[in-house]
Amino acid sequence: MLFSPPLKSKEEAVAPSIYTRSQYLFDQQRHAIYVRTDKLFACLFLFQWIGASVAAVLVAPYTWEGTTNTIHIHVWQAIVFGGIINSLPLFLIWKQPGMLLTRQTIAIAQMLWSGLIIAVSGGRIETHFHVFGSLAFLAFYRDWRVLITASAVTALDHLLRGIYSPGSIYGVQVAEPWRWLEHSLWVVFCDFFLLISIRFSLRDMQLMAHRQAELESSKNSVEQEVITRTAELKLSEQNLRDSEATIRAIFETAADSIITIAENGTIETANQTCEKMFGYQFHTIFGKHISFLIKQIGEDACTEDGWVKWRDNCRFRRTALRLEGVGLARGRVEIPIEISLSFVNLNGKKLITAIVRDISERKEAERRVSEFYSIVSHELRTPLTSIRGSLGLIEGGMTGDLPIETLELVNIARESCDRLIRLINDILDLKKLEAGKFEFHKMEIAPSELLGMALAFTEGMAKERGIRLEQGWTTEHPVVADTDRLNQVLVNLISNAIKFSPKNGTVELSATIAENAIRFVVRDQGKGISKDQQHKLFCKFQQVDSSDKREQEGTGLGLAICKAIVEQHGGAIGVESDTDKGASFWFTIPVSSGEFYKPTEDSADPSYVVVIDDAKELGDLLNKHLLPSRCRVIHMQNSEDAAKVIAERVPDLVIFNVSRSDERDLELQEQLRALYSVHNRPVVLFTNSAAGLEIPSPVHVEWHKRPVREEIVVRDIKRAVDFSNCPTILVVEDDSGTRKTLVHQLGKYGIRCLEASGGEEGLNLIANENPELIVLDVGLPDMNGFDFVKRLREEHSCKSLPLLVYTGRDLTVTERRDLTIGFTRYLTKSRASESDLVNAIDELLEKVRVDVEAKADS
């Protein structure tokens, strides 16, 4: 194994291609060495041949016989015998260089040359060095086999000539029989070192071949990598070009203007849409300040200073800033725009990208939608309000007692009207909430007050259905909210709870503080809602039971509206429930950061109230509610005693629960009439029907059907105390039905109404009749409500007139501002109940009264 190639290393084992390649390179190199050495030997053979011939000629060219000479046989020997020796190896070198046979023939021939030279020299020992020189020369092949052959030939030559011609090999006539062995051993000695040299040389060659193979492999890998990377790079470049082309196409064909702006506000790039939108060629706007194209962003003018503010605003935002504004097209034409500003950092270059959209059409559409809503609001709500009001009056017996069947039909009609109004209101509310156009009139309010209001609204419904409402622990920490809207949410949740609670069930209310929010909870004892149905509760037109057989009516919009209202207050809404375990609807409203709410003290003077009722129920009820208002309540169980008491001291108010016997008590009637006419004191009658009483209309503050609703009784009593003087108000309403209904409704409360069907007529009445308050509809035929108010402002005497705007439209803040004059309140038809209307009128008149007194005092 001395001359075998190196064993495979681990690396070679795992990289067979390198090993194979190294073997190939090694073999190639060996072959090249063989061919090269063959050529060297060819030269050597020729040199030896010529040299021997020349030497023969020079030393002894002739052989003599006296004076006659012939060519010396040595000369022939050198030429012919040398030629024979050279012939075959030269032929093989020519025909098949690098082959083993050629090498072996060369080895034999070369050793024959050594033998020839030794022989010619007569066995001179010095010429034996030719043998060693020849072996060294043969070692050029780095092939141990040629050395073996050459050595064998030499040994054989020594052996044979030692026997047959020792003088020609050893220079002696008689040689020892072992002498050839001695010479051969010296040859072997020489071979030993040459073989070692060959081994090392082969190993080095193998190593170099292996390294070259590795290098080639690395080079191939690198080249392959370069090719792959180059291909990838080309692909990436192509993709980049495609991407750039795509982006450029998108940029240029985008429906919106895309402008990149430097930090200092100068325009750097703009797409074709920008050119079309603003009417400028790009080269005319390049480098100009953005204020050249944008006049206003949001509410701010886009000046150079204003731009800095928006730029800094963009820089610290993660998302784009989207605002409406005003653009300036060619000719300084203003166009409404929506502008999205975003900050871009491109390798240190800071830019603002502005995407500008022309929203002229959208604005127009919005205007049309708004107009549509306005029309719908007005045209639907106005007649429905009239219908409801009229039905309410008929139902209340204003037109006289109705047959039971008729009364039931009227009741159905009124309730259906209510439902229709609720549906319209819900749809309109939801539309506005979704569009984000719902305006909230937020104020600080205590949760307890919110719950109280909601309870007052729903108490009657609860009693009708035999449901008990219980208010649990309630925090006094205030929230900032739109009272009406939050009340709407609570009423909706409580109504639902009542509707779905079993008879004699309980609905619990609570408001607790939790994590900077007030958590309102309405818990019922209904059949609960399964988990898989809870997710659709707050969706539009969704009801847990949507079948035709469902027990409870509803539009399916209530909870969706509640969700929108709560979310726009920054809160959340949800439900916790399980089947047959009731449901807990909850919502949260962030707490107010202000101080705790402090309820205002009632500044009304203590009032002396006489209650005439054969039962104690009404007296207790009034005591409960009126004591906090510092009212003193005297309860009389019969009309005789009552007459005596009234005679002793004139009460501020008489509450008379009229019975059939009382209808015939002429003395009491006369006393009450005197009470009103002489002492100008109101009387409140509770009766199923007042038809039998002959009491002047103004005294009839309210008819209440039993069972009595506490909050309404309290409200009416409070109002009655203040109705010592009948106010005169002007109702400006183009819809005659609504107008008449209003007049009738207000007339019940002793309010004298002046009627005007248009603005001009209304202004004339104001000038001639001096009404104390104006109830104004916005949509008037000859002039709208805004113009009407504008005209009022122009009249100095009218500037302090209290105004109740009573319209079917949901007014925006701006519209409210434009409709404000002096003390002004706003009610929406169909949303506001009759009591809301009367309360608002009360409130406004009270404010005027307080204001007048304050001025008088000062």
Query: Which of 51, 171, 737, 758 is the binder for another protein (CB under 8 A)?
Result: 171
Q: Binder to another protein among 13, 14, 60, 233 (CB under 8 A)? A: 60
Stretch in the footprint of another protein (CB under 8 A) among 60-68, 276-284, 456-464, 586-594? 60-68
Query: How many residues bind to another protein according to rule CB under 8 A?
Result: 38
Q: Residue 391 corresponds to which tokens in the numbers above?
A: 């039905």
How many CB atoms within 10 Å of residue 519? 18
Minimal CA–CA distance to 689: which of 455, 395, 428, 409?
A: 395
Q: Which of residues 613-672 bind another protein (CB under 8 A)?
A: none
Nearer to another protein, 118 or 654 (CB): 118
* Closest approach of another protein to the CB of residue 112, in Å: 7
Q: What is the maximum alpha-carbon separation in the chain?
A: 206
State how far the alpha carbon of 376 is from the alpha carbons of 46, 368, 370, 380, in Å. 125, 12, 10, 6
Tell the residue number behind the tokens 């982006």, with chain if given: 247
**Shortest approach of another protein to residue 52 CB, angstroms?**
12
CB of 102 to another protein, least distance (A): 10
- Identify which range of 57-65, 438-446, 648-656, 727-735 contacts another protein by CB under 8 A: 57-65
| Ordered DSSP codes for 280-332 | --HHHHTTSBGGGTEEEETTEE--HHHHHHHHHHHHT-SS-EEEEEEEEETTT
Which is nearer to another protein, 68 or 593 (by Cβ)? 68
Q: How far is the CB of 86 from another protein (least distance, A)?
A: 10
Q: By CB under 8 A, name the one of 73, 185, 196, 813 that touches another protein.
A: 73
d(CA 666, CA 625): 31
Minimum Å gap between C-beta 100 and another protein is 12
By CB atoms closer than 10 A (0-12, 13-18, 19+), residue 573 is buried
Q: What residue spans of 139-178 are helical by DSSP H?
A: 144-164, 166-170
Characterize the bridge pairing of strands 294-297 and 321-329: antiparallel
User: Residues 97 to 156: which contact another protein by CB under 8 A?
Assistant: 101, 105, 112, 119, 122-124
Bond preceding residue 781 cis, omega within 30 of 0: no
Helix or strand (DSSP H, E) at 601: none
Tell me how far, at minimum, the Cβ of 61 lies from another protein, in Å: 8
For another protein, give the closer residue by CB, 59 or 344: 59
Tell me if 20 contacts another protein by CB under 8 A: no
Site for another protein in 201-240 (CB under 8 A): none
Cβ distance to another protein smaller for residue 71 or 233: 71
- H/E element holding 477? none
Of 123, 108, 193, give the one whose Cα is nearest residue 161.
123
372 CB burial (10 A radius; 0-12, 13-18, 19+): exposed
Contact with another protein (CB under 8 A) among 68, 347, 603, 697: 68
Residue whose CB is less far from another protein, 68 or 858: 68
Q: Please name every residue paired with 303 in a beta bridge, in sequence order, or none if there are none.
A: none
Q: Which is nearer to another protein, 99 or 402 (CB)?
A: 99
User: Which of 112, 207, 107, 106 shows the shortest CA–CA distance to 158?
Assistant: 112
Stretch that binds another protein, among 2-10, 170-178, 246-254, 452-460 (CB under 8 A): 170-178
As measured in angstroms, the least distance from the Cβ of 41 to another protein is: 16
Of residues 247 through 306, those in contact with another protein by CB under 8 A are none
Residue 171 has a CB neighbour count (10 Å cut-off) of: 16
Q: Is 59 in the site for another protein (CB under 8 A)?
A: yes
The residues near 739 (Cβ < 8 Å, ≥ 6 apart) are 731, 733, 755, 757
DSSP codes joined into one string, 800-841: T--EEEEESS---HHHHHHT--SSEEEEETTTS-HHHHHHHH
The span of 81-89, 133-141, 521-529, 618-626 binding another protein (CB under 8 A) equals: 81-89
Instruction: Say how far apart CA 360 and CA 277 lie, in whole Å.
Output: 11
Q: How far apart are CA 449 and CA 80, in angstroms?
A: 141
Pick the binder of another protein from 47, 91, 372, 786 (CB under 8 A): 91
Given candidates 22, 53, 168, 738, which one binds another protein under the rule CB under 8 A? 168
User: Which single residue is written with the structure tokens 């070192």?
Assistant: 193
Binding positions for another protein, 366-405, rule CB under 8 A: none
| From 18, 85, 328, 776, residue interacting with another protein (rule: CB under 8 A) | 85
Q: Applying CB under 8 A, which of residues 2, 4, 126, 164 lies at the interface with another protein?
A: 164
767 binds another protein (CB under 8 A): no
Shortest Å distance, C-beta 60 to another protein: 2
Tell me whether residue 122 or residue 466 sits nearer to another protein (CB atom).
122
User: Who's near 379: CB < 8 A, 6+ residues apart?
Assistant: 808
Gap between the Cα atoms of 261 and 280, Å rounded:
16
- Comparing CB distances to another protein, the nearer of 86 and 659 is 86
Phi, psi of 165 (to 5 degrees): -150, 70
Q: Which of 55/301 has CB closer to another protein?
A: 55
Q: Rank residues 108 and 297 by Cβ distance to another protein and give the closer one.
A: 108
Angle at 573 between CA 570 and CA 575, to 5 degrees: 165
Q: How far is the CB of 192 from another protein (least distance, A)?
A: 28
Given 74, 414, 719, 825, the residue binding another protein (CB under 8 A):
74
- Estimate to the nearest angstrom the gap between the alpha carbon of 644 and the chain centroid: 76
**Distance of closest approach, residue 47 Cβ to another protein, in angstroms:** 20
Say how far apart CA 298 and CA 321 lie, in whole Å: 10
Question: Which one among 33, 40, 55, 88 touches another protein, defined by CB under 8 A?
Answer: 88
Which of 47, 62, 94, 596 is close enough to bind another protein by CB under 8 A? 62
The 481-510 site mask, x for binding another protein (CB under 8 A), equals ------------------------------
Angle between the N-to-C axes of helices 100-120 and 82-95, in degrees from 0 to 180, rounded to the nearest 10: 160
Which pairing describes strands 653-657 and 683-686: parallel, antiparallel, or unpaired?
parallel
Residue 54 binds another protein (CB under 8 A): no
Question: Using CA atoms, how far apart are residues 117 and 831, in angstroms rounded to an integer?
Answer: 139
Q: Is there binding between residue 72 and another protein (CB under 8 A)?
A: yes
Give me the least distance between CB of 87 and another protein, in Å please. 7
Q: How far is CA 238 from CA 225, 245, 247, 415, in A?
A: 19, 10, 14, 72
Contact region for another protein (CB under 8 A) — 25-33, 172-180, 307-315, 553-561? 172-180
> Which one of the spans 53-61, 195-203, 370-378, 469-477 is the region binding another protein (CB under 8 A)?
53-61
66 sits near another protein (criterion: CB under 8 A): yes
Looking at the Cβ atoms of 48 and 671, the one nearer to another protein is 48
Min dist. Cβ of residue 130 to another protein (A): 17
Q: Kindly write out the interface string for residues 680-699 of this chain, putting x where it contacts another protein by CB under 8 A and - elsewhere.
A: --------------------
In the chain, the N- to C-terminal Cα span, in Å, equals 131
Would you count residue 361 as binding another protein (CB under 8 A)?
no
One residue of 1, 2, 4, 67 binding another protein per CB under 8 A: 67
* The token pair that represents 475 in the structure block: 């925090």
Residue placing its CB nearer to another protein in the complex, 60 or 604: 60
Minimum distance from residue 133 beta carbon to another protein (Å): 21
Residue 150 and residue 133: Cα distance in Å, rounded? 12
CB 181 to another protein: min, Å: 20
Q: Which residues bind another protein (CB under 8 A)?
A: 59-69, 72-74, 77, 80-81, 84-85, 87-88, 91, 101, 105, 112, 119, 122-124, 164-165, 167-168, 170-174
